[in-house]
C-alpha cells in the first residue's frame, strides 16, 4: 500500500477507536458517570487511547516481527491508559447520587390521594 492510503487508513482507525472507546466506556462505566465527568478527562484520555492504538498498529505494520520493543511500549501505553480510564471512571462513579437517603439515614416520603372524578355518563 502507498503511504497516502496508509495515512487514510490510520485516520479512519483513529476515528473508529474513539467511537469504540466511548461506546465501551458508557456501557462499562455507565452513562451517568460519563455525564458527570469533566470534558477534559474524556477528551484527553480518548485521544491518547486512540493515538496509542494507531501507534501500536503502525508499529505492527512497519516491522516483520510481532513482538518488538516499540510494539511492547505501545501496548503498555494502551494498558496504562485503560487503567487511567478505569481510575477516573471509578472516582466519578463514587460521586454519582444513586437516589439513596441522606446522611442521617432518614427518608421522606409523600403520599397523595388520587383525585376522584364522577361523570354523568358513568354507569354503575
pLDDT of residue 101: 52
Estimate to the nearest angstrom the gap between the alpha carbon of 60 and the chain centroid: 26
Residue 51: its pLDDT value, please?
A: 97
Q: Is residue 106 in a domain?
A: no
Instruction: Specify burial of residue 115 (Cβ count, 10 A radius: 0-12, 13-18, 19+).
Output: exposed
Q: For residue 86, is it within any domain?
A: yes
| Contact indicator for 57, 13 with CB cutoff of 8 Å | yes
Please provide the average confidence, as pLDDT, over all residues in the chain. 86
Closest CA to 45 of 93, 78, 8: 78
Say how many domains are in the chain. Answer: 1
Band of pLDDT at residue 65, cut at 50, 70 and 90? confident
123 in a structural domain:
no
In a domain, 111, yes or no: no
Residue 108 lies in a domain: no
Report pLDDT digits (tens) over 70-121.
999 999 999 999 999 999 999 999 988 766 555 565 666 666 666 666 666 6
The domain of 53 spans 3-95
> Alpha helix (H) ranges present in 63-102?
69-95
Residue 51 lies in a domain: yes
User: pLDDT tens for residues 17-50?
Assistant: 999 999 999 999 989 899 999 999 999 999 999 9
The pLDDT assigned to 69 comes to 94
Residue 57 near residue 10 (C-beta atoms within 8 A): yes
Model's pTM, two decimal places? Answer: 0.74
| For residue 54, pLDDT beyond 80 | yes
In a domain, 120, yes or no: no
Decide if 117 is inside a domain.
no
Amino acid at each position: 500500500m502507498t503511504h497516502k492510503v496508509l495515512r487514510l487508513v490510520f485516520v479512519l482507525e483513529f476515528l473508529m477507536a474513539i467511537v469504540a472507546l466511548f461506546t465501551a466506556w458508557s456501557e462499562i462505566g455507565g452513562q451517568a458517570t460519563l455525564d458527570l465527568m469533566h470534558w477534559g478527562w474524556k477528551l484527553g484520555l480518548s485521544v491518547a487511547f486512540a493515538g496509542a492504538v494507531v501507534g501500536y498498529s503502525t508499529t505492527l505494520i512497519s516491522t516483520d516481527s510481532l513482538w518488538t520493543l516499540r510494539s511492547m511500549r505501545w501496548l503498555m501505553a494502551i494498558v496504562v491508559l485503560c487503567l487511567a480510564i478505569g481510575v477516573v471512571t471509578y472516582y466519578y462513579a463514587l460521586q454519582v447520587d444513586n437516589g439513596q437517603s441522606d446522611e442521617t439515614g432518614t427518608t421522606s416520603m409523600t403520599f397523595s390521594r388520587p383525585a376522584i372524578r364522577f361523570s354523568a355518563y358513568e354507569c354503575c
